[in-house]
Homo-oligomer: A and B are copies of this chain.
Amino acid sequence: MNTKCPARDFIYQDWILTETRFNPEQLHSRGTVFTIGNGYLGTRGSLEEGHARGLPATFIHGVYDDVPVVYTELANCPDWLPMIITINGDRFRMDQGEVLQYERKLDVSQGLLSRSLRWRSPSGSIIDIHFERFASLADQHILGQRCQITAHDGDCLVEIQASINGYAENQGFNHWEGIDQGKTESGIWLESRTRGTQIEIGMAAKMTISGAEAALQVSIVPGYPTISASFLAKSQQTITVEKLVTVFTSREVNKQVTAAQEKLAQLPDYTTLLTANQQAWDEVWQKSDIYIEGDPKAAFAVRYNLFQLLIAAPSHDEKVSIPAKTLSGFGYRGHIFWDTEIFILPFFIFTQPALARNLLSYRYHTINGARRKATHYGFKGAMYAWESADTGDEVTPRWALPDDYYGEDVRIWCRDREIHNSADIAYAVWQYWQATGDDVWMGDYGAEIILDAAIFWSSRVEYNSQGDRYEIRGVIGTDEYHEFVHNNTFTNRMVQWHLEKALKVADWLRHTFPEGAKELEEKLQITPELEAHWQDIIKKICIFYDSSTGLIEQFEGFFQLKDINLEDYEPRQRSMQAILGIETANQHQVLKQPDVLMLLYLMRPSAEFPYNEKALKSNWDYYAPRTDITYGSSLGPAIHGILASDLGKSATAYERFMQALMVDLEDSRGNANDGIHGASAGGIWQAVIFGFGGIQFTEQGPTANPHLPPNWTRLKFQLHWRGQWYQFDLPGGQEAGGREQEEKSQGGFPSGRTSGAGEQSSTLKAFPLALPLVEKGGAEEEVFTLQSPLPNTQSPDIRGFIFDLDGVLTDTAEYHYLGWQRLADEEGIPFDREANEALRGVSRRESLMRIIGDRPYSEAQIQEMMERKNRYYIELIEHITPKDLLPGAIALLDELRQAGIKIGIGSASKNAHTVIERLGLADKVDAIADGYSVQTPKPAPDLFIFATHQLGLEPKQCVVVEDAAAGVEAALAGGMWTIGLGPIERVGAAHVVLPSLAGVTWTDLRTKLNEAARV
């Protein structure tokens, strides 16, 4: 299928966007549109050769800088794009000479941006130039560029200059201080550091030329290392220039320049790298694609929006999240808003749950920032930042500065008053958990978020004794046109909902992970009194709901505000706030974006209060006409679209959908230059799946109740739900035709969970695709991860190593033995080194059980003995030093880190942290799974699975190094690659068996693992 749908200078094909004309007026909006990325970084669509008004930008996740004058922001990273071509002395630029042919293409099926043009130079030479670039999804540290040059009418002298530009800037501000730069055998490198946060970046680049004789030269202009070459391009012969770039930051590795250089030195050619990238994208799209027939513009644009979300989603990092403008622009300084949890997250929850988990984990890792914010404002618990960056502290700018000398600074109140996001985050955590059943994550991460944010609420609400009710005064709801309101219904109901769920989570935790629950309750000071207080708030918080009509008042006194007819202001090109002014907008019943309707939308999945048919209808009728849906918030249209679908208003639904869909491609709000509207893109997915697809979740799985737009003939997608994949292939044309009719139809109204799921799901075509969940013991130990069998047809893609501690990195086994020996001696139980051998990799309790055998000890005695042995052991390991590292361990760790591989520890020991500290390894490991991490010990795979979660990796991307049979068994059960250290008798089941780590290198191991994979 190759349907073309022209729109202005864009052609939309299945997977390909083609720009047919270069318009310098659109330089910056198109710079956003042509953003590429790989979940590690995003690079805007700037021109390789530069442009007078160009703003080249590459943003790397987590690379924030906090220079006071500009507030914390994502630092624009050194630019990897510069390639300057000079033809017979004329420098190629779009604004000089003459562009005879032009085409720019973005292929979202593989994230490849290309530009082809025929150019006549000022002095009359005609050449064809073809540029390509991609950020590899197969290896996030690799960036590829290709330039092909063909002289068209006679030989040309060509000079090409490929650089890394260290002078990247954020609207004039350069966050980077140069550390060093230089030449290598294969090219150039640059090392810089952010001024405030001191994050270091290392980049390396090389260039190859084929098709002509060319000698490379390297120059060391400060901050702008450059490789150049001159050659003769013979007429009609194509010369290919390839530029490969590698990039690491100190967030991932210690020696980022070395890592970049070494990776660069090992790279295969451009074509091979591009193929690997294509394969990685194939895998992603297999899960996340939406296929639409009958509406080619929408078909491409939906994929385009999903592509922009996918390239912004961190696959290897759970300490970052997706900014409001993704990684595609300077807007909002790379800050993270509720946009991510409420608008963007569902796409990932249901198609890429591992990415969803990373995004939510960010809120766990930044919870201390939320706690600092709460403390600052005089509250308790976790008060999440309205705008969040690396630490979770509040980074919303305080002031919008005036443009002229005497203008007034305008205070930005969101940091103080727009507080609903703490409940929104809790909402997202709950949705993720419901959809995935990821109890481990919920126990470790999610519960703490929900509970500590609930504690914030109980300190934030005010008890009004006159009315015997709880109030939340002085807030901004989701509708930001009203900047200081009391008892915003959205906020109050979300708080109530949040507290309801907090009580459930607390209960669930106590039953499922009693030890963890106890620890958390102590840490957060959760008491029965507090839970009773939550109950009381739930009961008495004021909600303005008229049960006779279902109408909800947006906040206390909203209905008393002056009314307004938005149609009186049409046609308009500006927001109602811009037209009326902040104060006047405040005094009118005009909304920037859905507020009551947003609440209804969020309560829709489980049809919770106040969501019902009557409320939806009456509130839609009241609020939709009063909402500035065109120039208010870009968060509005998709949500209105879905609710319109629910109400059977098919034409409105499609109109709102298209409005959200084209916001960046058609720059309909005029601010695409600031970056992709991430929330709108996320809303698009929800509009297709929940709106047009009518997806509802029942206990039996997702069901569809589709009402496709009239022109859609088919809609195909897949969803991941509680460990299984469900594919939907929905035919179109089932709805009536004319607009009038649609607007009156009630047929689309979804059933909700309360009514029988089967009733209206006549079009359900879902079938499970995936293997069922791996059963390993009790229900509480369910692991949501899809357990695909290890691949054996290609080399494993190793991104993490998980080391057992005892017997692998160090010989604490010896100290354990000494501890057990002393205990056994005191108790008069026979025990020796040989007996000790059987305890390798076995938990403390199990070890003791084996030692005491069938001797009659009470549980209290057992507890005491475990503690006693541990005391002896602790005393012994006080004396551990880095000298206790086993031979080869440190060398291998360093080599792995330099190769960008993450390091985890998977040890049954409850003292793993102490031991790691004393061994001097604390800075070298990314994650520690220890005796507190999981309940079921090796040979269950839980401990290692836990470690892969912490590393943000899939089991098949990890290698476990073990010296114990139980450990090898656990790793294999978890689906990891396994290296056994010791005799075949003990660890022979591992993929690779070695006597010890002495002399072992990553290169060796990779070869051996590749061999094992081919078996």
Contacts and interface: CB of A to CB of B under 8 A. Distances in A.
Nearest to A67: B172
A221 B163 contact: yes
Given A69-B69, A172-B174, A223 B167 contact: yes
Interface in A368-417: 372-373, 376, 391, 393-395, 398-399, 401-403, 405-406, 409
A417 to B, nearest CB: 16
A220 B91 contact: yes
Contacts of A180: 52
Contacts of A406: 372-373, 376, 393-394
Contact of A221 (B68, B161, B376): B161
Interface in A120-166: 161, 163, 165
B222 A82 contact: yes
A244 to B, nearest CB: 20
Contacts of A84: 220, 222
B70 A69 contact: yes
Contacts of A165: 222
Contacts of A67: 172
Contact of A167 (B161, B174, B391, B399): B174
Nearest to A53: B177
A68 B163 contact: no
Contacts of A161: 219-221
B172 A175 contact: yes
A195 interface: yes
B220 A221 contact: no
A241 to B, nearest CB: 17
B178 A169 contact: no
Interface in A567-618: none
A222 B224 CA distance: 9
B220 A219 contact: no
Contact of A398 (B52, B70, B409): B409
A844 B75 CA distance: 67
A901 to B, nearest CB: 31
A100 interface: no
Nearest to A376: B406
Contacts of A226: 219, 221
Interface centre among A53, A82, A91, A405 (most CB of B within 10 A): A405
Nearest to A385: B405
Nearest to A219: B219
A1005 interface: no
A50 interface: yes
A179 interface: yes
A373 B406 CA distance: 8
A162 to B, nearest CB: 11
A76 to B, nearest CB: 12
A403 B68 contact: yes
A372 B404 CA distance: 12
Interface centre among A69, A163, A372 (most CB of B within 10 A): A69
Contacts of A167: 167, 174, 223
A402 B68 contact: yes
A173 interface: yes
Per DSSP, chain A at the interface is: loop
Contacts of A86: 220
B393 A222 contact: no
A228 interface: yes
Contacts of A221: 161, 163, 219, 221, 224, 226
Interface in A214-240: 219-224, 226, 228
A719 to B, nearest CB: 39
Nearest to A82: B222
A52 B178 contact: yes
A789 to B, nearest CB: 48
Interface string A62-96: 00000111100000000000101010000100000
A225 to B, nearest CB: 9
B52 A179 contact: yes
Contacts of A174: 167, 169, 172-174
A178 to B, nearest CB: 7
B398 A405 contact: no
Contacts of A195: 172
B223 A219 contact: no
Contacts of A401: 68-69
A376 B221 CA distance: 48
Contacts of A69: 69-70, 171-173, 401
A376 B195 CA distance: 38
A391 B404 CA distance: 12
Nearest to A400: B68
A3 to B, nearest CB: 41
A68 B400 CA distance: 10
A502 to B, nearest CB: 26
Contacts of A68: 401-403
A972 B53 CA distance: 52
B409 A405 contact: no
A187 B753 CA distance: 77
A217 B125 CA distance: 24
A405 to B, nearest CB: 4
Interface in A252-270: none
A224 B165 CA distance: 11
A169 B406 CA distance: 26
Interface string A185-227: 0000000000100000000000000000000000111111010
Contacts of A171: 69
A163 B398 CA distance: 41
A998 to B, nearest CB: 35
Interface in A2-17: none
Interface string A82-119: 10101000010000000000000000000000000000
A332 to B, nearest CB: 15
A656 to B, nearest CB: 35
B372 A405 contact: yes
Nearest to A389: B405
A406 B378 CA distance: 12
Nearest to A392: B405
A807 to B, nearest CB: 45
Contacts of A50: 222
Nearest to A369: B405
Interface string A888-931: 00000000000000000000000000000000000000000000
A374 to B, nearest CB: 11
A200 to B, nearest CB: 13
A820 to B, nearest CB: 50
A373 B405 CA distance: 9
A392 to B, nearest CB: 10
A50 B399 CA distance: 37
A49 B446 CA distance: 54
Interface centre among A167, A180, A395 (most CB of B within 10 A): A167
Nearest to A397: B69
A17 to B, nearest CB: 28
Contacts of A228: 219
Contact of A405 (B53, B223, B395): B395
Contact of A172 (B173, B224, B393): B173
Nearest to A228: B219
Interface in A718-775: none
Interface of A: 50, 52-53, 67-70, 82, 84, 86, 91, 161, 163, 165, 167, 169, 171-175, 177-180, 195, 219-224, 226, 228, 372-373, 376, 391, 393-395, 398-399, 401-403, 405-406, 409
Closest 8 CB pairs of A and B: A393-B405, A376-B406, A167-B167, A68-B401, A221-B221, A173-B173, A221-B224, A172-B173
29 contacts: A50-B222, A52-B178, A52-B180, A67-B172, A68-B401, A69-B69, A69-B172, A69-B401, A84-B222, A86-B220, A161-B219, A161-B221, A167-B167, A167-B223, A172-B174, A172-B175, A172-B195, A173-B173, A219-B219, A219-B226, A221-B221, A221-B224, A221-B226, A223-B224, A372-B405, A372-B406, A373-B406, A376-B405, A399-B399
Given A68-B403, A69-B70, A219-B221, 9 more contacts: A50-B222, A68-B401, A69-B171, A86-B220, A161-B219, A165-B222, A167-B167, A172-B173, A221-B226
